[in-house]
Amino acid sequence: MLTANSSLLTKEDMTNPDRVPQWLIKEYQTFHETVTDKTFPCYFGMKAENKGELRYAYITQEDWSNLPKAVESFLDLFQEPPYIRHGLFVFMEPESIEGDIEFYRKRFWEILQYLHQADEKPWPIEKPKDPDHYLWDYHFAGEPIFVFGNAPAYKQRKTRDLGNSLVLGFQPRMIFEGLEGTEKGGIMSREKVRERVEKWDNLPKHPDISHFGDVNHNEWKQFFIGDDIEPIKGKCPFHHKQLR
């Protein structure tokens, strides 16, 4: 049961002016209309949004402090049945002037770094800490999570434009059980979604999109892809925190 001051929000909360600010109600409306469009590529997201299975949180330009609690509360949903394929979408208060892709990418990684710095649980000892390792993935509270960025600066990859907000999608790796990149069901589901994405965006799939465990792949590169078909170059902005 959510408390009145909970950082984690439900579908009903997102339209309640007593629970959330007006800008978030507006941005959620755009989000809802986008992901429930019958032609939206990700039918898992569409189904979850329609059934009220997604969860949400928000941060303002000045205050990100409720984010760690929101993600922690979200992960708590997986501690007992029923194990529904939840996703968490975190909305950032829109900029007064829209930025470009690099602006939002920088902000995206700053938020993930902030969340990592606030993590009270240790990074799993057996998991790589170097983002350039092909088996690296992002962890919070000991759980591996796939995180992907959406922003208004996406003009070609329309599937990544969910409104005026920078929106971070959090998907714990456990929800992909049976849909992994090497599993038959995962391969088929992934290919169907990607075909629909290419149709929506009218662009080939981004070259950095692959599946976890691919030795020629860096997971971090598909967290915030480009609005083009150019591979991402350079080092990952994420740095594992130094233990004191």
Give Cα separations from 117 to 38, 61, 173, 210 (angstroms): 39, 18, 21, 28
- pLDDT value of position 199: 76
- pLDDT value of position 91: 98
- pLDDT value of position 82: 67
- pLDDT value of position 4: 40
pTM (2 d.p.): 0.90
Q: Which residues of the chain have pLDDT under 70?
A: 1-5, 82-83, 176-190, 243-244
Give Cα separations from 74 to 34, 56, 69, 127 (angstroms): 23, 9, 8, 22
Cβ neighbours of 76 (radius 10 Å): 11
